[in-house]
Amino acid sequence: MENRKIYEDIAQRTDGDIYIGVVGPVRTGKSTFIKRFMETLVIPNIDNVYRRERAKDELPQSGSGRTVMTAEPKFVPEEAVQINLGGGAAFSVRLIDCVGYMVEGAAGHMEGEYPRMVTTPWFDHEIPMTEAAEIGTRKVIAEHSTIGIVITTDGTITEIPREDYIAAEDRVIRELKELGKPFLVVVNSASPNSDRAVAIRNELAAKYQVTCMTANCLELRESDITDILRGVLYEFPVKELDLFLPPWVDALPHGNPIKNELYAAIRGGAAEMRRIRDVESAIEKMGEGGSISSAKIGSINLGMGIATAILALPRELFYTTLSNQSGFAVADDGDLMNLLTGLSSVKREYDKVAAALQEVRSTGYGIVTPDADELILEEPEIVRQGGRYGVRLKASAPSIQNVRSKRKQNPLSSERILTCKV
């Protein structure tokens, strides 16, 4: 179920078309990665037996040693394959293999002392294989892929040392970062859990601020593919960040110092947030500013790119702010309960006379209508009228009448409201 959710999220972020550009230096295992990806995830989910066999025939060649096996960019499979996830969810997937940028020590791009010439769809004449590889790699990165996977190595899968890959590796990563396309880096290693592979992974992650993982592409499992796709999801842009604040903050007037301080902390934390992977650090930074006592992530919807976070403020700050805003001393919940109880009693009394006060201000006279519980019912009286009998009911209640009058004083004059209880 977890794997299925990852595939659904990827499909949602790419509008159902997952075109994975597999790029990087030559001789790093790009074709091997694509072959294992297809064999593990794509081919078993192709329903049509003929398309399944055709997809197997289209798998790229891979091999060991220094010789470059891929001569030109290739879509694998040739036509995108739709994978049904059940429940009406589906996505189309296609991987794009490319030659990659040349590295020192690689073979196959030269014929004797001369560059190997190849034909390409972009020119009507042959060009050197190295030039074709660079053009094809740039096109895969910029034009054909929705997400990118950079395959590099720690130097354990071929006879080429790690140092010879660094320049080409740097070039492809920087080009992807300039485009802003979601991607991650996979360090292909014969021993992905070795100290050397892990150290290179950490170095690349810190240097380029991108998700980096280790894997053995020759032995890639479905769990490895799921981890890689999940990592790519965290490289997609954040579309929305919903922050949940204590409700009393919204009740503060515009320009309140606490409100200004809180919003400044939020803006500061979100300033560098671009990708899903930035959300955690952004929320942590928010928690360091203003009067925020804690800041934590509520949820992240990877498919929609929406994250939620909860920001908490000290309870003592609420009491202090309430005291300042209301003019009443409130130190704890007990004080708050007593204050609300007293104010509610006052409000009930005021509500009785509020309409009358409004009338007296507008017309000069207003009467406070008594409530039902103020009525005094007198003893019923039997009366006779002609040949008929009846019962007379009498009730009385006090009323308050307000009259506005002008009172002149020397040298000032003022108005006052006279209240008479009848």
How do the domains of the chain map onto residue ranges?
2-233, 240-320, 353-421
- Residue 413: the pLDDT is 52
First to last CA, the chain: 77
- Residue 379: the pLDDT is 84
CA angle 19, 23, 25 (to 5 degrees): 170
Instruction: Specify the pTM.
Output: 0.73
Helix (H) or strand (E) holding 392: strand 388-392
Distances (CA, A) of 255 to 229, 258, 262: 45, 8, 11
Distances (CA, A) of 397 to 258, 376, 377: 50, 6, 9
Q: Which residue has the higher pLDDT, 374 or 32?
A: 32
Specify which of 135-149, 226-240, 345-359 reaches the highest per-range mean pLDDT.
Answer: 226-240
Strand pairing class (17-23; 147-153): parallel
pLDDT in tens, 252-307: 998 889 999 999 999 999 998 999 999 999 999 999 877 899 999 999 988 888 99
d(CA 357, CA 399): 14
Strand pairing class (413-421; 365-368): unpaired
Written out in words, the top-level CATH class of the domain with range 2-233 is: alpha beta
Packed helices 279-287 and 257-270: angle between N→C axes, nearest 10 degrees: 150
Q: What percent of the chain has pLDDT over 70?
A: 89
Distances (CA, A) of 367 to 288, 370, 375, 399, 403: 58, 9, 16, 7, 9
- Residue 112: the pLDDT is 61
**Strand order through the sheet with 306-312:** 240-244, 306-312, 294-301
- Residue 2: the pLDDT is 59
Strand pairing class (400-408; 381-385): unpaired
In this prediction, residue 149 has a pLDDT band, given cuts at 50, 70 and 90, of: very high
In this prediction, residue 197 has a pLDDT band, given cuts at 50, 70 and 90, of: very high
Q: What is the rounded average pLDDT of the residues 104-114?
A: 67
61 CB burial (10 A radius; 0-12, 13-18, 19+): exposed
Q: Which residue has the tokens 């515009």?
A: 254
